[in-house]
């Protein structure tokens, strides 16, 4: 029995190592998309591509793939209310077409970057796309006081139920947290009872999250150092929740020196787009092999 267990353990380790070696991601081409300010992320929604940034106000622009490039759809959405900037630094759009839509806002309160205010907004997404502003489309404002540093909401599915995942941007005590979307949509702060579902520790400098539904994988979109160099960490969500720490499938560093902000696959798990805060060469097409 002991020999059998040892053999199974060795086989499991071999399979795990093989899985880690299988995933590979490379950048294929980089272009410049203007009028975004410092781009903060990308949201792919059934062929509609939304790039969001912090220009003179927080804003979103809509694009579509046209052959191998992006075509602007001449639709711009301002994250303002009564003409005032509300979501000035958007850091994530949690959208799944079924549950409430959330947009994150991470506000730096000190020049040193050691004090942050993180806010999650529950938004009438259809209304925002129709009217172009947050006027009449703000459902709730939630103080993400359960966070350690910043917020970046993204929908994930765990045991058949949707949750809003978010993560910290810092160099210590980082976590990925899962919030119950219905409780979150009605809360005033994330520390309220029933909002936080599960959490696990993760590595530093997480800028955004991306969920690969058919594989059960959460991608941590990271910097290798504060504010620079690209890193993608592919994490097994279920195993990470069980162990309480990130369970890494593969960590991929890409040789680019600017600040990676966001990433999304484009309806499959092969073709993707990564965005940075640079004013030029801020959109990079990627290809992932499994």
**What pLDDT shows up at residue 15?**
42
For 52-67, write each residue's pLDDT tens digit.
999 999 999 999 999 8
**What pLDDT shows up at residue 107?**
78
Q: Shortest CA distance to 196 belongs to which of 121, 238, 144?
A: 144
Burial-class residue 150 by CB neighbours within 10 Å (0-12, 13-18, 19+): buried
Q: Shortest CA distance to 234 belongs to which of 263, 260, 261?
A: 263
**Can you give the residue range of the structural domain that contains 81?**
35-289
Task: Judge whether residue 110 has pLDDT over 80.
Answer: no
Tokens of 13: 């380790």
Whole-angstrom distance, CA of residue 183 vs CA of residue 199: 16
Task: Judge whether residue 11 has pLDDT over 80.
Answer: no
Task: Judge whether residue 75 has pLDDT over 70.
Answer: yes
Tokens of 15: 């399979």
* Residue 13 main-chain phi, psi, to 5 deg: -65, -40
Helix locations, 23-171, DSSP H: 125-131
Whole-angstrom distance, CA of residue 122 vs CA of residue 149: 20
Whole-angstrom distance, CA of residue 238 vs CA of residue 250: 15
Q: Is position 63 within any domain?
A: yes
Q: Is position 22 within any domain?
A: no
For 270-280, write each residue's pLDDT tens digit.
999 999 999 99
**What pLDDT shows up at residue 114?**
59
Q: Is position 3 within any domain?
A: no
**Domain count along the chain:** 1
| CB atoms inside a 10 Å sphere around CB 256 | 18
Coil, helix or strand at residue 272: strand
**What pLDDT shows up at residue 170?**
86
Q: Is position 77 within any domain?
A: yes
Q: Is position 8 within any domain?
A: no
For 127-148, write each residue's pLDDT tens digit.
999 999 999 999 999 999 999 8
Q: Is position 18 within any domain?
A: no
**pLDDT range class, residue 16, cuts 50, 70, 90:** very low
Whole-angstrom distance, CA of residue 257 vs CA of residue 229: 4
Q: Is position 11 within any domain?
A: no
Task: Judge whether residue 2 has pLDDT over 70.
Answer: no
**What pLDDT shows up at residue 6?**
45
In CATH, what number is assigned to the domain containing residue 191?
Answer: 2.120.10.30
Task: Judge whether residue 254 has pLDDT over 50.
Answer: yes
Query: Judging by DSSP bridges, how do beta strands 206-212 and 196-201 pair with one another?
Result: unpaired
**What pLDDT shows up at residue 216?**
97
Q: Is position 109 within any domain?
A: yes
């Amino acid at each position: 029995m002991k020999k059998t267990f040892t053999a199974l353990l060795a086989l499991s380790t071999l399979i795990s190592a093989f899985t880690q070696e299988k995933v590979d991601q490379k950048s294929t081409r980089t272009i410049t998309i203007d009028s975004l300010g410092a781009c903060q992320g990308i949201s792919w929604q059934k062929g509609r591509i939304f790039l969001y940034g912090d220009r003179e106000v927080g804003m979103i622009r809509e694009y579509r793939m046209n052959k191998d490039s992006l075509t602007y759809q001449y639709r711009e959405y301002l994250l303002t209310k009564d003409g005032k900037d509300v979501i000035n630094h958007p850091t994530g759009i949690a959208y799944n077409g079924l549950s409430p839509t959330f947009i994150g806002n991470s506000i730096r309160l000190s020049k040193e970057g050691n004090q942050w205010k993180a806010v999650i907004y529950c938004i009438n997404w259809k209304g925002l796309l129709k009217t172009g502003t947050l006027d009449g489309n703000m459902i709730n404002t939630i103080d993400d006081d359960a966070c350690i540093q910043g917020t970046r909401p993204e929908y994930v599915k765990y045991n058949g139920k949707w949750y809003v995942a978010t993560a910290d941007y810092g160099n210590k005590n980082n976590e990925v947290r899962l919030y119950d979307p219905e409780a979150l949509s009605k809360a005033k702060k994330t520390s309220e009872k029933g909002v936080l579902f599960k959490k696990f520790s993760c590595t530093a400098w997480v800028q955004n999250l991306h969920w690969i539904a058919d594989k059960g994988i959460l991608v941590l979109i990271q910097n290798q150092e504060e504010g620079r160099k690209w890193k993608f960490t592919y994490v097994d969500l279920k195993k990470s929740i069980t162990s309480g720490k990130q369970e890494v499938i593969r960590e991929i560093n890409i040789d680019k020196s600017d600040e990676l902000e966001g990433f999304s696959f484009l309806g499959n798990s092969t073709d993707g787009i990564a965005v940075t805060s640079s004013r030029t060469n801020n959109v990079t097409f990627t290809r992932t092999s499994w």
